[in-house]
Amino acid sequence: MMEVGKIITISDISIEIILSNTDVKIGDILEVQNDHKYVFEIIEVNNISATCVSLYTTRGLQKGSIVIKVSDGLEIEYSDKILGRVFNSYGTIIDGLPFESEHKVKVNNDTVSLKEVKVENDPLWTGIKVIDFFAPLQKGFKMGLLGGAGVGKTVLIKELIHNIYSSSNSNAVFVGAGERSREGKELYEDMKSSNLLDKMVMVFGQMGDNPVSRSKSVATGLRMAEYLRDEKKQDVLIFIDNIYRFIQAKAEIATDLKELLIENGYPANMANEVSQIEERINSNNNGSITSFQAIYIPADDLTDDAVQTVMSYMDGQIVLDRKIAELGLYPAINVFKSTSKLIDAEKIGERHYNLVEKVLACLTRYEELEEIIAVLGIEELSEEDKNIFYRSRKLRNYFSQPMFVAESYTNIKGEFVDIKDVLDDVENILKGKYDTVDESKFRYIGKYNG
Amino acid sequence: MELNKIDKKVEEIKNNDNIYSVGKVIKVNPYTVIVSGLNDITYYEEVDIADKAKGFVFAVGKNSVTISIVEITEKINPGDLVYSLKKQFKCLFSMDSMGKVIDIFGNDLIADKKFDNLVEVPIENDPLPLMDRDLVTREFLTGITGIDMLYPIGRGQRQLIIGDKKTGKTQIALDAIVNQKDKNMVCIYVAIGKTKKEVKDIYYELAKRGAASYTIIIASFHDELPNRTYLTPYVALSIAEEMMLDAYDVLVVIDDLKKHADVYRQISLASKKTPGRDAYPSDIFYAHSKLLEKGCQHKNGGSITILPIIETKSSDITDYISTNIISICDGQLVLSSKNFAKGEKPALNYGLSVSRLGGNVQDKEMKKLGSLVRNELLEYLDVRDVYELANIDEMSPELQKRMKDGKIILDKLRQYKFAPKSKEEMLSLYRFLEVGENDGSR
């Protein structure tokens, strides 16, 4: 407990301190001793003053308050004690249950070096037809989950946790970054009631929290994933909902610090900030980290700088589409835009690859036909186009799926579908085996059972 | 000379004991002033500017302090003395506000006088701990079939109402308020940047329908200081939060948040914050997320349901502010000007509307029939466009039935304003679908 100086400026999320003791460095944690909790992290220091961000609100903080140093960096639990527990962005337990620390480490860690990064791995099936078919995964992949607001992103994340996680023994980390608290609590209750909670860790810095909390939740969750990978030698799953909020929070902090910003108000060092996170989410010889990162798209603008910066790290992407959601087809995945690096005849096999090509060609023609039909009616189409038209509608319906976590919306029980069944069904639809079956029979089913 | 005066004044005030910190105005902007001195001020402290104006500390700088003004009676001059009041800035509220139109400083705007029994309300509390929340499962009924059956709202949910001008956004909120009669719900209607005429109309409309006894209207108009308008929804939610912690169910309508965003942009640009997308400040998302996150089902039984409203231009719900709010809320009711013009009222766009809580907040029967109706309707809307020109006699019997049922479903969703339906009435409208379902003819 060392006195370091006095507060001379205060704004919403940052303060400046005139130093009486220059033995401080970036990352140190400072405090004002008061009834209220005022905690700061140094982000810039010179020989007379230090700039800090505030971990909590600064309202009620007095100019001239004496600041003391309490530690030289945020610390989090680094042991099996994290499993089944819920933390805030600063590594504090928030589930209200007793907790005894076993071993703590600093939150900050190095990125994985080029030498250590491992790229080859086994495929990872999700049981969700449209993903396994169009955008299959491999352990260690980073999958972007893109989608505007309200098209079912979070439901898909929950379904992925449910499916992948319940079929593997690995522990998982869920990071809630700048998303809804209601959903955080719901996810917690869901996991508890499905007996999955004790195999995962949750970290929350939700959208009601200040930007410092929202931006730090990612690194905190990541440190825990690193524990599982490096100490427990696991293939870890990490879900980040939502990585865009991390950049958004950084932009808010940069604005408050009066930094010069790039277009749309993003911080100039955005590429570096994102890299510091993304290059830690990698597989090494200890184990793999497969990540699903929800990416919010501001103003439905895919060309947004922040979205593009994050996207460059992804091995694949799953794009949710409002137009498909409008049709009531969930998961509302746009199959033209969703893909992964595995879609390659050498990696996934000739049959799967060819089927994907055929389906995409068929659906592309369908979109053209829709326009023709709007003018001329179906009867004017050639026999071949009619087949394409009806089969495409069946395919489109077939790629909707009842989801376990969406039972309350759809009233239909969820299903995990084997990729072999998906390939068979798709092949049969394309070949015309089901031409006499009504298209509504393909809506919200698992595999087709005749 | 001047300095001596201040020193003397400071001495005087120090002896007086309740006000002792004094500064001096060095620059006057339209709604902020820059003050020198006040060296032991606290952030968000309330200050008095020479008995002419009231404000709070918005930023503490090295040699100066920025004050946001919320009340002004006389022009401020450079050199005016600024007294810190040694307390956090708070707003005022009276429990007698029920059935009144009020502002956030304890004024009854229709009677044009201050309430007597005022209590202080913080402008904002810390975010509610995650674990103090409970699941949103209790129904909140609006009396509108298209909402209660298809896109239901639960107590503690944040459901956005979004659409162009003149599509019936406010009407849906008013319908919802009127339908809360005898349902043990306190309603708070927050009018931001609406015209005085509109607010008075709403006041009469609610009073006429017996909703005044449980409704408070909190209004802030564009002819006021922007800081007041900016603070209004936060204070409204603080009031709601206190009621929720006393285990009340509260409904807050915020009409509308786009105007609030614009006021915040105005304040931010005036304070020289670097603008981001569409010139809004980078923290515009946070400004709304911390506000709307107050909506919740509390573990003690109380709840805050929020119906924010956003006005769009040419039916574009993908602009910056709209998508921000959509990503905060638990669903959205999208209103379409096309449907409105066609006379399909409420003019809901059933394809674009979403409730993320869905059946979780409905009772068993509503959930079952509701999801059936929604699926049938969406399928109908999907095929309607494709098969519009096709000859109905040449369609498969299944398709014919779907087209026929779809049209009936859509027609039955029409509902006039202030004509709430009970759950039983809604269910009976669509029983005919269940019959088909049960006898296996489908």
CATH number for A352: 1.10.1140.10
Same domain assignment for residues B177 and B158: yes
**Minimal CA separation from A324 to chain B, in Å:** 10
Q: Does residue A55 surpass a pLDDT of 70? A: yes
User: How far apart, in whole angstroms, are the C-alpha atoms of residue A164 and residue B264?
Assistant: 44
- Cβ neighbours of residue A198 under 8 Å, at least 6 residues apart? A83, A84
Nearest residue on chain A to B124, judged by CA atoms? Answer: A59
Q: Does residue B104 sit within a domain?
A: no
By mean pLDDT, which of A329-333, A361-365, B202-206 is the weakest?
A329-333
Is A185 within 8 Å of B129 when comparing Cβ atoms?
Answer: no
Q: Which of B330, B362, B394 is the last residue of a domain?
A: B362
pLDDT digits (tens, 9 = 90+) for B61-116: 999 999 999 999 999 999 999 999 889 999 999 999 999 999 999 999 999 999 99
Same domain assignment for residues B84 and B155: no
Same domain assignment for residues B35 and B161: no
Quick check: A61 contacting B, CB < 8 Å? yes
Same domain assignment for residues B271 and B382: no
Same domain assignment for residues A64 and A81: no
Quick check: B358 contacting A, CB < 8 Å? yes
CB atoms within 10 A of CB A2: 13
By mean pLDDT, which of A322-336, B36-50, B255-269 is the weakest?
A322-336
User: How far apart, in whole angstroms, are the C-alpha atoms of residue B249 and residue B297?
Assistant: 9
Q: Which of B362, B391, B416 is the last residue of a domain?
A: B362
Quick check: A439 contacting B, CB < 8 Å? no
Q: Which of A55, A72, A89 is the last residue of a domain?
A: A72
Give the C-alpha distances (Å, rounded to integers) separating B30 from B53, B70, B266. Answer: 12, 11, 11
Give A 173-232 residues with CB within 8 A of chain B: 178, 180-182, 184-186, 188-189, 204, 206-211
Active-site residue identified among A41, A77, A159, A179: A179
Is A180 within 8 Å of B293 when comparing Cβ atoms?
Answer: yes
Same domain assignment for residues A232 and A296: yes
Backbone angles phi, psi at B224, to 5 degrees: -95, 175
Residue B381: its pLDDT value, please?
87
Nearest to B252 by CA among B162, B186, B181: B186
Q: Does residue A370 sit within a domain?
A: yes
Q: Does residue A352 surpass a pLDDT of 70? A: yes
Active-site residue identified among A6, A180, A443, A447: A180
Active-site residue identified among A85, A139, A153, A245: A153
- Residues A155-170: what's their mean pLDDT? 78
Catalytic: A180?
yes
Same domain assignment for residues A80 and A59: no
Same domain assignment for residues A111 and A244: yes
Same domain assignment for residues A289 and A359: no
**Minimal CA separation from A12 to chain B, in Å:** 8
Is B135 within 8 Å of A185 when comparing Cβ atoms?
Answer: yes
Same domain assignment for residues B281 and B164: yes
Q: Which of A308, A341, A374 is the last residue of a domain?
A: A341
User: How far apart, in whole angstroms, are the C-alpha atoms of residue A285 and residue A117?
Assistant: 8
Q: Does residue B278 sit within a domain?
A: yes
Same domain assignment for residues B344 and B381: no
Same domain assignment for residues B285 and B186: yes
Residue B233: its pLDDT value, please?
97
Give B 61-100 residues with CB within 8 A of chain A: 61-62, 88
Q: Does residue B378 sit within a domain?
A: yes
Nearest to B59 by CA among B34, B85, B23, B91: B34
Q: Does residue A376 surpass a pLDDT of 80? A: no
Q: Does residue A449 sit within a domain?
A: no
Q: Does residue A447 sit within a domain?
A: no
| Domain range for A15 | 2-72
Question: Which spans in A152-303 are helix H?
Answer: 153-166, 181-193, 211-230, 243-256, 270-278
Residues of B in contact with A376 (CB under 8 A): 389
Contacts of A261-267 with C-beta under 8 Å, sequence gap 24+, read: A261/B274, A261/B276, A261/B282, A262/A305, A263/A305, A264/A298, A264/A304, A264/A305, A264/A306, A264/B276, A264/B277, A265/B274, A265/B275, A265/B276, A265/B277, A265/B281, A265/B282, A266/A305, A266/A306, A266/B276
**Minimal CA separation from A149 to chain B, in Å:** 5
Is B39 within 8 Å of A61 when comparing Cβ atoms?
Answer: no
Q: Does residue A450 sit within a domain?
A: no
Quick check: B276 contacting A, CB < 8 Å? yes
Give A 113-142 residues with CB within 8 A of chain B: none
Nearest to A265 by CA among B302, B47, B282: B282
Quick check: B383 contacting A, CB < 8 Å? no
Q: Does residue A448 sit within a domain?
A: no
Contact B366, B141 (CB under 8 A): no
User: How far apart, in whole angstroms, are the C-alpha atoms of residue A406 and residue A106?
Assistant: 38
- Give me the CATH number covering residue A148: 3.40.50.300
**What 3-state DSSP class applies to B27?**
strand
Q: Does residue B439 surpass a pLDDT of 50? A: no
Residues of A in contact with B354 (CB under 8 A): 150, 325
Residue B19: its pLDDT value, please?
47
Is A60 within 8 Å of B43 when comparing Cβ atoms?
Answer: yes
Q: Which of B88, B112, B134 is the last residue of a domain?
A: B88
**Minimal CA separation from A172 to chain B, in Å:** 20
Same domain assignment for residues B166 and B47: no
Quick check: A92 contacting B, CB < 8 Å? no
Same domain assignment for residues B15 and B131: no
- Residues A359-366: what's their mean pLDDT? 95
Residue A53: its pLDDT value, please?
96
Same domain assignment for residues B301 and B416: no
Portion of chain A with pLDDT greater than 70, in percent: 98
Q: Does residue A399 sit within a domain?
A: yes
Q: Does residue B442 surpass a pLDDT of 80? A: no
Same domain assignment for residues A50 and A91: no
Catalytic: A182?
no
Q: Which of A72, A90, A125 is the last residue of a domain?
A: A72
Same domain assignment for residues B297 and B255: yes
Q: Does residue B168 sit within a domain?
A: yes
User: How far apart, in whole angstroms, are the C-alpha atoms of residue A61 and residue B40?
Assistant: 10
- Give me the CATH number covering residue A52: 2.40.10.170
**Minimal CA separation from A422 to chain B, in Å:** 24
Same domain assignment for residues A307 and A238: yes
Residue A394: its pLDDT value, please?
94
Q: Does residue B109 sit within a domain?
A: no
Q: Does residue A85 sit within a domain?
A: yes
Same domain assignment for residues A437 and A379: yes
Q: Which residue has the tokens 């905190």?
A: A220
Confidence of residue B20 (pLDDT cuts 50, 70, 90): low
Quick check: A302 contacting B, CB < 8 Å? no
Nearest to B303 by CA among B253, B254, B251: B251
pLDDT digits (tens, 9 = 90+) for B178-234: 999 999 999 999 999 999 999 999 999 999 999 999 999 999 999 999 999 999 999
At position B271, the amino acid (one-letter code) is S
**Is the model's pTM score more than 0.95?**
no
Q: Does residue B111 sit within a domain?
A: no
Q: Does residue A389 surpass a pLDDT of 60? A: yes
Nearest to A94 among B131, B136, B281 (CB): B131
**What 3-state DSSP class applies to B63?**
coil
Confidence of residue B440 (pLDDT cuts 50, 70, 90): very low
* Number of domains composing chain B: 3
Q: Does residue B119 sit within a domain?
A: no
Q: Is the dihedral of CA A15, A19, A21, A25 positive or negative?
A: positive
Same domain assignment for residues A64 and A155: no
- Residues A3-14: what's their mean pLDDT? 94
Same domain assignment for residues A333 and A301: yes
Same domain assignment for residues B341 and B276: yes
Q: Which residues pair with B185 in a beta bridge?
A: B249
Which stretch of DSSP H or E encloses residue A323? helix A322-326
Q: ipTM, 2 decimals? A: 0.88
Backbone angles phi, psi at B331, to 5 degrees: 150, 170
Is A409 within 8 Å of B359 when comparing Cβ atoms?
Answer: yes
Is A409 within 8 Å of B358 when comparing Cβ atoms?
Answer: yes
**Minimal CA separation from B262 to chain A, in Å:** 16
Residue A416: its pLDDT value, please?
92
Same domain assignment for residues A142 and A57: no
Same domain assignment for residues A80 and A60: no
Nearest to B386 among A96, A180, A370 (CB): A370
User: How far apart, in whole angstroms, are the C-alpha atoms of residue A143 and residue A140?
Assistant: 9
Quick check: B128 contacting A, CB < 8 Å? yes
* Number of domains composing chain A: 3
Is B359 within 8 Å of A63 when comparing Cβ atoms?
Answer: no
Q: Which residue has the tokens 């130093």?
A: A19
Q: Which residues pair with B312 in a beta bridge?
A: B164
Q: Does residue B387 surpass a pLDDT of 80? A: no
| Domain range for B156 | 125-234+248-362
